């Protein structure tokens, strides 16, 4: 894995580093992305890490499997993670449900459902995000958006506000340098000619195409050069539905 790394909070990778934001993007209008969830993770070694996620039911957040930890606290209704507002809803995760075939070495099946201790209150600042149907195979060439609280540069700390960047879905050939890339269950995201990408701290956040979550930020190159690899949500709809049905 010398060419790639998981795009999770920098604390999970280097305990002395700072987490920052998306590269080449812009700050979102406050609370214009009401589905976004900020995850604070206590790792098995006691470090604090951060990931993104998104609300798909009032008591369920979807994120990346590699964002699992000893404990996770989800905050909804956040714009600036350092400035608490009355829009915030801080909820404990009572169950972390990783995909049963998640492989931390090949980073396949990098998807996880988080069951919240209580149902979120739906407000102007907190809402759910729709998922694609199972046969909905979003094709290369589509322009989509990704949001998160990750880093704004390889060596840059960023602001603490939610950032967003436009990303193009690439042909699978553009991700052939990732030895375990699978077009059926993953998306190849980001034009290699542009310095725009998700980065450390953005893991678990959604890739939005026409208002629907089609991907989950998974991993990319150490130098943030696009494209990066996202989990293809449509490939996991039956598993998601099964979990939601069984956890009611």
Residues carrying an active site annotation? 66, 110, 203
Q: Where do we find the tokens 């990098």?
A: 110
Residue carrying structure tokens 């098995």 = 44
With contact defined as beta carbons under 8 Å apart, do 103 and 109 qualify? Answer: yes
Distance CA 187, CA 180 (A): 12
**Residue 217 and residue 198: Cα distance in Å, rounded?**
7
Residue with tokens 């407000």: 123
Task: Decide if 114 contacts 72 (C-beta within 8 A).
Answer: yes
In angstroms, the CA 179 to CA 1 distance is 9
Using CA atoms, how far apart are residues 232 and 111, in angstroms rounded to an integer? 9
Please, what is the Cα angle at 47 between 224 and 117, to 5 degrees?
100
From CA 146, how far away is CA 38, in angstroms rounded? 14
Q: Which two tokens stand for residue 236?
A: 């996991």
CA distance linking residue 105 with residue 117, whole number of Å: 30
């Amino acid at each position: 894995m010398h060419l790639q790394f998981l795009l999770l909070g920098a604390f999970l990778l280097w305990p002395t580093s700072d987490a920052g934001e998306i590269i080449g993007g812009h700050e979102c209008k406050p609370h214009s992305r009401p589905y976004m969830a900020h995850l604070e993770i206590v790792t098995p070694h006691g470090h604090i890490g951060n990931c993104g996620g998104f609300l798909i039911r009032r008591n369920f957040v979807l994120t990346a499997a590699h964002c699992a930890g000893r404990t996770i606290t989800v905050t909804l209704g956040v714009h600036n993670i350092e400035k608490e507002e009355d829009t915030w809803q801080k909820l404990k995760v009572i169950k972390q449900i990783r995909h049963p075939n998640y492989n931390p070495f090949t980073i396949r099946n990098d998807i996880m459902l988080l069951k919240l201790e209580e149902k979120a209150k739906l407000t102007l600042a907190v809402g759910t995000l729709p998922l694609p149907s199972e046969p909905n195979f979003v094709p290369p060439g589509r322009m989509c958006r990704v949001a998160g609280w990750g880093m704004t540069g390889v060596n840059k700390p960023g602001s603490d506000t939610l950032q967003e960047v436009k990303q193009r879905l690439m042909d699978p050939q553009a991700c052939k340098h990732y030895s375990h890339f699978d077009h059926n269950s993953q998306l190849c995201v980001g034009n290699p000619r542009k310095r725009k990408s998700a980065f450390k701290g953005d893991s678990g956040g959604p890739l939005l195409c026409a208002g629907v979550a089609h991907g989950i930020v998974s991993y990319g190159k150490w130098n943030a050069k696009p494209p990066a690899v996202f989990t293809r949500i449509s490939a996991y709809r039956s598993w998601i539905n099964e979990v939601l049905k069984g956890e009611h």
